[in-house]
Amino acid sequence: MVSSKLAVGSVSNQAFLHYLCALARSIRENAPEVHFHAHLINVTQDGVESVRQAMGRGEITVENIQLSKEEERGHSSNSRVYVVHKLLSSGFDVVVNMDPDALVRKGFSMILQHSLENYDVLLFRQSRIKKSNIGEKVHFLACMSIFKNGANAKTFVAKWLAELEPMRLEWFGDQIALFRAFEKTNVIVRVGDIPLGLLDWEFAFKSYVWMAKGNKKYSSSMFSLELEKYAPNRPASVVFFIILIKQLTLRGQFLFWKIKIAIISYLLYIRSFIRFKKKI
């Protein structure tokens, strides 16, 4: 059994590396007990070093593979399943898969322990079953999933891997395979929902993990502010410029309100940043 009970795994290619570095720093500062596993695909040596500097406890694996842009996109997303399998096999008590564009805002070991009392797996369930780009049903999003190490969780992940294998380079393959694995194992595997407040893409202050799914990583000032807290040595003037540019590029608002929102966001950032620095 490994010494750390809780592991978080995340996968990134070069395009998402700055998000993964921020995730690594947020875990180091807010949940230092977590073992962080970063799997990097076609990332430069400088990029690997930037992740190493951002991390606290954990490890890095590097994969260099020749793929088309679309294949790399699919492979990067789908590799989460292999990382989960590796961490379960390594003996961690609880394994959490997270997208790289997530931020851990406070330690979540206790809420996980309570949430997993009656479940083997926790998934992020959509409000209704949707169809994927190839017409398959998808009920869960793969942006975050949680596994309590044991025979049932390993059975689920083994089925997830098996279903994914024919689609391992296809975008959305992980989510299609996830729903198939659920349908084929839910008689024996106890699957629950990730609790409200643990994973949040509406960015409530009390939430444990913020996830900037889709375009929210570009359009949300709240997420941008939180992200900037974990940027290395970013001058305050640069932060304001970033926030202002993001506001000016949004549609559906008058220029006056865009500038006003940018200024308010900047002041909130300064207050949050000062409190953050005092804490660490």
In the prediction, which pLDDT does 135 show?
A: 53
Give the lowest-confidence range in 35-39, 95-99, 111-115, 251-255: 251-255
Q: How confident is the model at residue 2 (pLDDT cuts 50, 70, 90)?
A: very low
Closest CA to 223 of 234, 233, 211: 211
Instruction: Over range 182-206, report the average pLDDT.
Output: 91
Question: Between residues 230 and 158, which one has the greater pLDDT?
Answer: 158
* Rounded-to-integer distance, Cα 10 and Cα 143, Å: 10
State both tokens at 83.
């990382």
* pLDDT at residue 32 greater than cutoff 70: yes
* pLDDT at residue 215 greater than cutoff 70: yes
In the prediction, which pLDDT does 214 show?
A: 76
pLDDT, one tens digit per residue, over 133-160 is: 545 666 788 999 999 999 999 999 999 9
In the prediction, which pLDDT does 74 show?
A: 96
Instruction: Over range 163-190, report the average pLDDT.
Output: 94
* pLDDT at residue 252 greater than cutoff 90: no
Alpha helix (H) residue ranges in 116-235? 151-164, 173-185, 216-219, 221-228
> Between the CA of residue 224 and those of 5, 18, 84, 206, 247, what are the distances in Å?
31, 12, 28, 17, 11
* pLDDT at residue 254 greater than cutoff 90: no
Question: What percentage of residues in the chain have a pLDDT greater than 70?
Answer: 77
- The pTM (predicted TM-score) of the whole model is 0.82
- Per-chain mean pLDDT for the chain: 84
pLDDT, one tens digit per residue, over 97-139 is: 999 999 999 998 888 888 999 999 999 987 555 555 545 666 7
Instruction: Give the DSSP H or E segment for 266.
Output: helix 255-279
Give the lowest-confidence range in 91-100, 177-186, 190-199, 210-219: 210-219
In the prediction, which pLDDT does 269 show?
A: 55
* pLDDT at residue 273 greater than cutoff 60: no
* Rounded-to-integer distance, Cα 48 and Cα 172, Å: 26
* pLDDT at residue 274 greater than cutoff 90: no
User: Is the distance from CB of 185 to CB of 155 less than 8 angstroms?
Assistant: yes
